Amino acid sequence: MARVITRADHYSAPVRSADDQPAGPSPPGVFIHERAIVESSDIGPGSRIWANAHILAGARIGRDANVCDGVFVENDVIVGDSVTIKCGVQLWDGIELENDVFVGPNATFTNDRMPRSKHDRTADLRTLVKRGASIGANATVLPGLVIGADAMVGAGAVVTRDVPPFAIVVGNPARITGYVDAPTAAPLVTGPAEDAAPQAVGDVTGVTLIDLPVVADLRGALTFGEIEGQLPFTPKRFFIVHDVPSREVRGEHAHRALEQFLICVSGSVNIVVDDGHNRSELVLDRPNHGLYVRAGVWLIFYRCSADAALLVLASEPYDAADYIRDYDEYRAHVRSG
């Protein structure tokens, strides 16, 4: 027989069996299986705790959570609303799961980078899984990491570094293989320079693909761009991203005022653009394709080929205050207009 605990806000009503529940509508309750051990008094209404789960006294569980069989939750753990924790998961001190997180069966969170028998941890490392992220079955997450909002960790992945928002990571060690909800943009339709029109990138605003002129003969090919022609602004700075290990991710920021024009002069680079509402992915792999990125667009580049060299022309000198490096801050910036 399972038992149900009803409460208003903070798990304060007496324990009653399911048969003792009053007929008709009842206040939101907490379902606790008779073989579960729940020592915490901070369980949100609508949550369900199943057989052989063990939740220590200091843990905090939000509303509508689903804690499946055989889950262990230590004291210094925060579980948000509408979180699903599948069978065989242990949540150690220092772990926080924000709202709408999914943790697959037998996923493993670690809490010590250098464990020794009979040795206490030298420091408590905080692990944060941000809202909407999913962690696949049998994945392993090292301590002290941040799994970004809506990220997807593949089954069996070994996560050794922070995972960016919306990133899809797989393997050992886990590497980014794509981004959630980032459809690949159609290839740029090329043609004679006088006929080539700028092309939108999916539904993302503030981003344009531009076909640059090419002059070719027996001696080779030359690509060029002119200010107020192909270049929408007068560059005041340039930088080149090169020699990037293929597993590395660059960018992951937006600018408040800076405009950029990107050309992959060698090799190939995958680029994700995000306007806070829509996201798209494209490949820059030709020196005659330029990507114009206006201010206020979140930009990521990854999957750089070994010979990739990405030239970036910038509308302003470097200004650290112009960068937005946190995605939550970026979303707030977009909402503020």
Catalytic residue among 119, 253, 277, 289: 253
**If you compute the radius of gyration of the chain from its CA atoms, what whole number of angstroms results?**
25
Position 119, amino acid = H
Which residues lie closer than 8 Å to 73 by C-beta, 6 or more apart?
40, 53, 54, 55, 56, 59, 61, 67, 79, 90, 91
Q: Is residue 120 a contact partner of residue 101, using CB atoms and an 8 Å limit?
A: no
Q: Is 253 a catalytic residue?
A: yes
Which residues lie closer than 8 Å to 160 by C-beta, 6 or more apart?
142, 145, 173, 174
Rounded Cα gap, residues 274 and 149, in angstroms? 14
Run of H or E residues at 211: strand 204-211
Q: In what order do the strands lie in the sheet with 90-91?
A: 37-38, 54-55, 72-73, 90-91, 108-109, 140-141, 158-159
Three-state SS for 19-30 is HHCCCCCCCCEE
Q: Collapse the DSSP code of 18 into the 3-class scheme (helix H, G, I; strand E, B; otherwise coil) and give the result.
A: helix
Rounded Cα gap, residues 29 and 7, in angstroms? 6
Q: What is the DSSP string of 64-91?
A: T-EE-TT-EE-SSEEE-TT-EE-TT-EE
Q: Which tokens belong to 105?
A: 């069966």
- So which residues are the catalytic ones? 253
